[in-house]
Amino acid sequence: MSEEKISRNFIQQEIDKDLKEGKYDTVCTRFPPEPNGYLHIGHAKSILLNYGLAKEYGGTFHMRFDDTNPTKEKTEFVDSIKADIQWLGADWGEHLYFASDYFDQMYEGAIKLIKKGKAYCSDLSADQIREYRGTLTEPGKKDPNSDRSIEENLQIFEDMKNGKYEDGAMVLRAKIDMTSPNINMRDPIIYRVAHMHHHNTGDKWCIYPMYDFAHPIEDAIEGITHSICTLEFEDHRPLYDWVVRELEYEVPPRQIEFAKMYLNNVVTGKRYIKKLVEDGIVDGWDDPRLVSIAGLRRRGFTPESIQKFVELCGVSKSQSTAEYAMLEYCIREDLKMKRPRAFAVLHPVKLIIDNYPENESEMLEVQNNLENESLGIREVPFSRELYIEREDFMIDPPKKYFRLFPGNEVRLMNAYFVKCTGYETDVDGNVTEIHCTYDPKSRGGNSPDGRKVKGTIHWVDAKTAQKAEVRLYENIVNEELGVYNEDGSLNLNPNSLTVVKEAYVEPSLMEAKPFDSFQFVRNGFFTTDCKDSKPNAPVFNRIVSLKSSFKLPVNK
3-state secondary structure of 173: strand
pLDDT class of 553 with cuts at 50, 70, 90 = low
DSSP for residue 501: E
Evaluate whether 412 touches 459 at the Cβ level (below 8 Å): yes
pLDDT class of 452 with cuts at 50, 70, 90 = confident
Question: 337 — phi, psi (to 5°)?
Answer: -95, -15
Position 159 scores a pLDDT of 98
Cα gap 21→17, rounded to integer Å: 6
User: pLDDT of 363-407, one tens digit each?
Assistant: 999 999 999 999 999 999 999 999 999 999 999 999 999 999 999
pLDDT beyond 90 at 125: yes
Select the more confidently predicted residue: 239 or 552: 239
Burial of residue 207, with CB atoms counted within 10 A of its CB: 0-12 exposed, 13-18 middle, 19 or more buried = buried
pLDDT class of 552 with cuts at 50, 70, 90 = low
What's the pTM? 0.89
Which CATH number goes with the domain that contains 58? 3.40.50.620
- Whether residue 171 is contained in a domain is answered as yes
- Cα torsion 280, 282, 284, 285 to 10°: value is -130
Select the more confidently predicted residue: 3 or 78: 78
pLDDT class of 551 with cuts at 50, 70, 90 = low
C-alpha distances (whole Å) from 134 to each of 66, 98, 107, 304, 431 are 29, 34, 28, 48, 73
Position 4 scores a pLDDT of 42
Q: How many other CB atoms are found less than 10 A from the CB of residue 179?
A: 12
Q: How many other CB atoms are found less than 10 A from the CB of residue 441?
A: 11
Position 243 scores a pLDDT of 98
Position 71 scores a pLDDT of 83
CA 547 to chain centre: 22
User: pLDDT of 127-149, one tens digit each?
Assistant: 999 999 999 999 999 999 999 99
- Whether residue 471 is contained in a domain is answered as no
pLDDT beyond 50 at 102: yes
Position 2 scores a pLDDT of 40
Q: How many other CB atoms are found less than 10 A from the CB of residue 408?
A: 19
Q: How many domains does the chain have?
A: 1
Contacts of 63 (CB under 8 A, 6+ apart): 30, 31, 82, 85, 90, 92, 95, 96, 97
CA 26 to chain centre: 31
Cα gap 365→63, rounded to integer Å: 49
- Whether residue 209 is contained in a domain is answered as yes
- Whether residue 474 is contained in a domain is answered as no
Q: Domain span at residue 162?
A: 8-258
- Whether residue 83 is contained in a domain is answered as yes
Question: 144 — phi, psi (to 5°)?
Answer: -55, -25
Q: How many other CB atoms are found less than 10 A from the CB of residue 551?
A: 9
Radius of gyration of the chain (CA): 31
CA 214 to chain centre: 27
Q: How many other CB atoms are found less than 10 A from the CB of residue 472?
A: 18
- Whether residue 313 is contained in a domain is answered as no
Average pLDDT over residues 72-94: 93
- Cα torsion 275, 278, 282, 284 to 10°: value is 110
- Whether residue 361 is contained in a domain is answered as no
pLDDT beyond 70 at 6: no
pLDDT class of 332 with cuts at 50, 70, 90 = very high
- Whether residue 512 is contained in a domain is answered as no
pLDDT beyond 70 at 474: yes
Average pLDDT over residues 192-212: 94
Evaluate whether 222 touches 30 at the Cβ level (below 8 Å): yes
Position 8 scores a pLDDT of 85
Alpha helix (H) ranges present in 372-522?
A: none
- Write the DSSP string, 289-310: TS-BHHHHHHHT--HHHHHHHH
- Helices 237-246 and 103-115, packing angle to 10 deg: 80
